[in-house]
Amino acid sequence: MTPPQRQRWLDVACGFCGCACDDLNVDVEGGRIIGIENACESARGSFLAGEVPADKATDFSIVGEPVGYEQAVSRAADLLTEAEAPFIYGLTRMTSEAQCAAVELADRIGGRIDTPAGLFCPALGTPLQQSGVSSCTFGEVRQRADVIVFWQCDPERTHPRFRKRYCPDGSVGPGAGGSRGAFVICVGDPGTKTATKADQVLPVSRGREYEAAGVVRGLIAGHEMGESAVFDQTGVSLAEWKLLAERLRTCHYGVIVCEERQAGLSDWSNRYDAAAVHQLAIDVCNRTRCSVVTLRGPGNPVSAEMVFTWQTGFPCSVDLVAGYPRYGPAEFSLERSIARREADLVVIVGEDWDHGLESICGRLGSVPWILIEDRAWADLPARPAPTIRIRTAAFGVATPGTLFRADGVPLPLPRLLESPFPDAGRVLADMLARVARATPTAGGEP
């Protein structure tokens, strides 16, 4: 017997939070990850978990009965063929390439497709569709920012290496303002770790982000404002807002960091708030430079939006039942579709189970559903049993492909481990091939 080969992977990208740190060094031996450098604690855990061993009873199953992969895929294809209104949901813990396969499946079978972003997307659409967006890559933050505003977020907790990796530390290259380091302002809960490291904290009342953004916009535009009204609306004094407005107005390059769906701090389910922050940055841009950096959740959510957009023209919540893409943020959400009986089969693939699904889970039992998922059943929160379950290769460790960082920078994911399970994209393509055989109009090749 040859001793197990030890292999060291350098500069591995991490898909376990929106930071997408790509400087991890990973040691692999005997099909397991045995060492890791540069990862934060949570990433370390995720990498070391690696591929959870196969569990024959639940990896591939039909109504709880263990079956082979072929059988599971065939039965799934049958359900897809029979369904009149299939809904594909998730697409977070997947490579861009697998997401392409998911949108293709929805297109060819004529279904609806959405991501968790759809849950947070009001009828007015994304900030880009409302007001526009001024943004930048993380490297620009490090190189240029001389004012950074953490707007109702706590990256020290949610994106542990963000600040260290991407915020100015006084040792930067030829970029502009950053060489002195940045003045850091925290708008939000003064108790967070991010706030304790800030130069100034504005403890805005919870749920008052929209008003707060409006106050800063007004000050930047030079409007007079009443002191008590401002305090009543935001919980922060006018004088402090004036300081913030002045910093933004006179900086070289301001950056506002917000987090898309940070439970507990802010109600981002209303993206009017997000649009207000973006509008603020655009206002500042009429005087100097200002970008918004939106931190995203774990997995590959930005990629999902990108793939949706280049294949359908819309970033989420797409209905392909009519034979062409229709956009219905909120309207075509999974929850509403099930509630209104507009979905008779649900395929959940690459879902991260961390956000927003609670309201849906209760309804999942009412329709047949297929779970395509890279974790062991036991590791998932309690869910009603799926009609079909297909286990896939573990995202981020056994799924070569593309990961998009929250700022839209694409990164490669290597295959650190060989998986006994197929890639999610492969599963979807196999299902499509079988559907196409049953219904030639769904077509594979033209």
Q: Which of residues 133-162 bind another protein (CB under 8 A)?
A: 133-140, 142-144
Amino acid 123 reads: A
40 touches which of another protein, ligand SF4, none (CB within 5 to 8 A by kind)?
A: ligand SF4
Closer residue to another protein (CB): 312 or 337: 312
* Binding residues among 81-110 for another protein as defined by CB under 8 A: 96-97, 100, 104, 107-108, 110
Only one of the segments 72-80, 257-265, 318-326, 367-375 lies at the binding site for another protein (rule: CB under 8 A); that segment is: 318-326
DSSP letter string, 273-312? HHHHHHHHHHHHHTTSEEEEEEE--SSSHHHHHHHHHHHH
112/122 Cα distance (integer angstroms): 17
Taking CB under 8 A as the criterion, the residue among 253, 369, 377, 395 binding another protein is 253
Q: Looking at residues 142 to 161 of the shown chain, list those that interact with ligand SF4 (rule: CB under 6 A).
A: 159-161
Size of the site for ligand SF4 (CB under 6 A): 13
CB atoms within 10 A of CB 92: 26
Per CB under 8 A, does 15 bind another protein?
no
Residue 204 lies near ligand SF4 (rule: CB under 6 A): no
Find the binding residues for ligand SF4 in span 19-48 (CB under 6 A). 19-21, 39-40, 42-43
Nearest one of 423, 320, 308 to 106, comparing CA atoms: 320
Binding-site partner at residue 93 among ligand SF4, another protein, none, CB < 5 to 8 Å by type = none
Residue 140: contacted member of ligand SF4, another protein, none (CB under 5 to 8 Å, by partner type): another protein
CB of 109 to another protein, least distance (A): 10
- Residue 111 or 160 having the CB closest to ligand SF4: 160
Residue 268 in contact with ligand SF4, rule: CB under 6 A = no
Q: How far apart are CA 122 and CA 409, in angstroms?
A: 26
Half-sphere exposure of 114 (CA within 13 A, CB side): 29
Query: Binding partner of residue 108 among another protein, ligand SF4, none, CB under 5 to 8 Å per kind?
Result: another protein
Query: Sign of dihedral through CA atoms 96, 98, 104, 105?
Result: negative
Please, which residue, 40 or 281, has the CB nearer to ligand SF4? 40
Degrees (nearest 5) of the Cα angle 159, 52, 262? 25
* Contact flag: residue 400 with another protein (CB under 8 A): yes
Q: How far apart are CA 260 and CA 256, in angstroms?
A: 13
Task: Report if residue 83 touches ligand SF4, rule: CB under 6 A.
Answer: no
User: Could you give the C-alpha distances from 88 to 100, 375, 394, 402, in angstroms and in order?
Assistant: 13, 18, 20, 21
Residue closer to ligand SF4 by CB (options 110, 160) is 160
List 199, 324, 362, 384, residue binding another protein (CB under 8 A): 324
Q: Of 18, 294, 302, whose CA–CA distance to 141 is shortest?
A: 294
The continuous run of DSSP H or E covering 388 comes out as strand 388-391
Taking Cα atoms as reference points, which of 160, 159, 177 lies closest to residue 168? 177
Closer to ligand SF4 by Cβ: residue 38 or 309: 38
- Residues contacting 399, CB < 8 A, separation 6+: 94, 95, 98, 374, 393, 413, 415, 419, 423, 424
Residue from 286, 340, 378, 382 that binds another protein (CB under 8 A)? 286
Verify binding: residue 129, another protein, rule CB under 8 A. Answer: yes
Q: Does 383 bind ligand SF4 (CB under 6 A)?
A: no
The answer for residues whose C-beta is within 8 angstroms of residue 304's C-beta and 6 or more apart is 91, 92, 94, 99, 115, 117, 316
Q: Does 264 bind another protein (CB under 8 A)?
A: no
Find the binder of another protein among 330, 414, 426, 439 (CB under 8 A).
414
Q: Decide: is 176 part of the binding site for another protein (CB under 8 A).
A: yes
Minimum Å gap between C-beta 171 and ligand SF4 is 20
Contacts of 72 (CB under 8 A, 6+ apart): 60, 61, 62, 388, 389, 390
Question: Contacting another protein (CB under 8 A), which of 15, 111, 125, 422?
Answer: 125
- Summarize as ranges the residues that interact with ligand SF4 (CB under 6 A): 14, 16-17, 19-21, 39-40, 42-43, 159-161
